[in-house]
Every structure is written in C-alpha cells, then in structure tokens.
C-alpha cells in the first residue's frame, strides 16, 4: 500500500521555482533602415568611364528622393487597385502609377 514519491533535491526545487517565476520576454530584432546607397554608387560607377564618387550627404539626399518616389508610386498604385476593385496589386496598376507620377520623359 505504500507509494514511492520521487522528491527532487533541494537545489533542483529552487531552480524549478525560479523558472516558474521568470517571465520570458520576447526580444524584437532591430533592423537597420534599408538604404539604396549601395545601388546608387554602383549605378554612378557603371554609367561613366571616369571614377566618380559622391559624398555621403549626397547619397543620403538621393536615397530620400528614391524612397519618396517609391512611396508615392505605391500609394498611387494602391489607389488605382482600390478604384478598380482588384484585390491583388498587379503590374498593370504599378505601370499606370509610374506613368501618372513621373514626367513623360522618365515614364
């Protein structure tokens, strides 16, 4: 009639109590902001035979201009998709948004 109970040693009981009382906090991974600086320099070096460079301030200005243009194209294409009542954003909407936002020579 006797049942055997396994009792863990005291140091394991303390570890078990600590693990129960600790709350696991999920850490968010911090991403670096995306930049087009690498591609800007590649285009600059590939477009001309001479070895041209840009200052970091100029690269930041060009990068912000690119990000702004992409944002306006994305919002315009989303508005076109919404007006056409299409769920997925297709290449046709993006092409139309580029034609609407950029000047005729660039589009």
* 107 has a pLDDT exceeding 70: yes
- Tell which residue, 89, 67, 68, has the closest CA to residue 78: 89
pLDDT band at 1 (very low <50, low <70, confident <90, very high): very low
pLDDT tens track for 26-62: 777 888 778 999 999 888 888 777 777 889 999 999 9
d(CA 83, CA 93): 10
* % pLDDT > 90, the chain: 40
pLDDT tens track for 50-105: 777 889 999 999 999 999 999 999 999 999 999 988 888 889 999 999 999 999 88
Question: Using an 8 Å Cβ cutoff, are 74 and 66 in contact?
Answer: no
Distance of alpha carbon 70 from its chain centroid, rounded? 13
User: Which residues 6+ apart lie within 8 Å of 20 measured at CB?
Assistant: none
d(CA 60, CA 54): 10
Global pTM value: 0.64
């Amino acid at each position: 009639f006797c049942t055997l109970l396994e009792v863990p040693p005291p140091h394991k009981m303390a570890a078990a109590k600590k693990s129960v009382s600790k709350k696991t906090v999920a850490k968010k991974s911090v991403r670096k902001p995306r930049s087009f600086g690498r591609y800007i320099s590649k285009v600059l070096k590939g477009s001309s035979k001479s070895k041209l460079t840009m200052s970091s301030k100029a690269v930041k200005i060009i990068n912000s201009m690119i990000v702004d243009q992409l944002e306006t194209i994305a919002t315009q294409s989303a508005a076109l998709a919404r007006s056409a009542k299409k769920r997925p954003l297709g290449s046709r909407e993006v092409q139309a948004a580029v034609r609407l936002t950029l000047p005729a020579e660039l589009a």
